[in-house]
Amino acid sequence: MKLTVVGGGSTYTPELVDGIAGRRTSLAVDEIVLVDPDADRLAVVGAFAQRLLAHAGHQARVTTTSSLEEGVDGASAVLLQLRVGGQAARASDETFPLACGCVGQETTGAGGLAKALRTVPVVLDIAERVRRLAGDDTWIVNFTNPVGIVTRALLQAGHRAVGLCNVAITFQRWTSELLGVTPDAVRLDHVGLNHLSWATGVHVDGVDRLPELITTHGEDLGTHIGLPASLMRRLGMVPSYYLKYFYDHDEVVARQKKEPPRAEVVSAVEKELLDLYRDTSVVTKPDALSQRGGAYYSEAAVQLVHALTGGTGAEQHVVNVRNGGTLPFLPDDAVVEVPAEVTRDGARPLPVAPVPPSISGLISHVTAYEYLALDAAVRGGRDRVADALLAHPLIGQRATAERLADELVARNRDHLAWA
């Protein structure tokens, strides 16, 4: 099987390759193609990926190319992990909203909209070429943020796509440690949107142990997600750590104004990682990679690719998928992040327990924003950008939305064909 990674020059890539190496008996990958426009990074990451595979005894070869056409031709699956504008654009996304008193984050609020506007047109162009060169049966697995908006763009355009985030698998691994069981023994009830989700159940041997987790390990959980245990007890569920941007917005903004943006930290980590990758004596995944973020990314990705391309039966994964009535208070074509049964035929969302109004209202609100964000990304226009910002629950003020829209367009003009 040929597996293609678009954005293959990312420092994340060895994490993915390490996951493939660990499943060589169940995931029959013959070739991993890394596609990236940055030739220098691509050469460094590609050479390290090949050493990593060889050290693990995996026979797959790593090919690097700047040509998308060459990379996707004949691929069984195409993985998208690109960052349009690089860390410089991310630093902008994380800082310009702060001047308006809004959170600076690359997937939430104005920063998330900026990233969507840069990313969606590029991803749709890539997907069309994948369809033409690799065929309609090729799966597109999207890790590119904002995952929900990008995945909906792909599905709306008729592509065979599934979105994936590491939030659910990270929570599963962490709770399994707290409960003293293997990760495979834990089944999550997980509901919401990408980067707007809640764990509503943690099942072990048919017993929901979430109440026990909140009671016994509430403080640990609170440290992990950045929110107090009292909130979890009141909700009866565990919000993902991205909910702190909503529940503690003003406190987060105050902290962000005093700290360097995450992009600066990541840039320093990436420099360290690339230096390690250049060292030909390094043949295993370095510990420093854990500082990059994306914990358990490789496990989630490899498991999903296996289910979509080589699985022998249905597997359950938390993915970003078309709603189709799963959450009845949302439109059918919304993209939700829920457990799904995944086979070669795709991801079918599993039934979800009724969602209480304590979270359904926020889910609906952000879904409406995502509709407007995608419309702005596809059709362009400064006023559509302002409309999307006005609809976002973390903005919602006309003057603020107008100011943010002007700043967003000015900062991203080189990436916006209509600007």
Active-site choice (12, 241, 242, 245): 242
Tell me the C-alpha distance between 396 and 104, whole Å: 16
Distances from the Cα of 416 to the Cα of 104, 385, 408, angstroms = 20, 12, 10
Tell me the C-alpha distance between 215 and 186, whole Å: 18
Tell me the C-alpha distance between 403 and 87, whole Å: 23
Tell me the C-alpha distance between 180 and 135, whole Å: 45
Quickly count helices (H) and strands (E) in the chain.
Answer: 16, 13
Cis peptide before 261 (omega within 30 of 0): no
Tell me the C-alpha distance between 20 and 14, whole Å: 10
What string of DSSP letters covers 365-395?
HHHHHHHHHHHHHHH--HHHHHHHHHHSTTT
Residue pair 46/17 in contact (Cβ under 8 Å)? The answer is no
For residue 54, give the nearest of 303, 282, 363 by alpha carbon. Answer: 282
Other beta carbons within 10 Å of 286: 16
Q: For 9-34, give one letter per residue: b (16+ CB within 10 A) or e.
A: bbbbbbbbbbbbbebeeebebeebbb
- Exposed / middle / buried, residue 288 (Cβ in 10 Å: 0-12, 13-18, 19+): middle
Q: For 61-83, give one letter per residue: b (16+ CB within 10 A) or e.
A: ebbbbeebeebbbebbbbbbbbb
For residue 54, give the nearest of 11, 20, 9, 6 by alpha carbon. Answer: 20
Is there a catalytic annotation at residue 242?
Answer: yes
Tell me the C-alpha distance between 96 and 104, whole Å: 7
Q: Which residues are catalytic?
A: 242
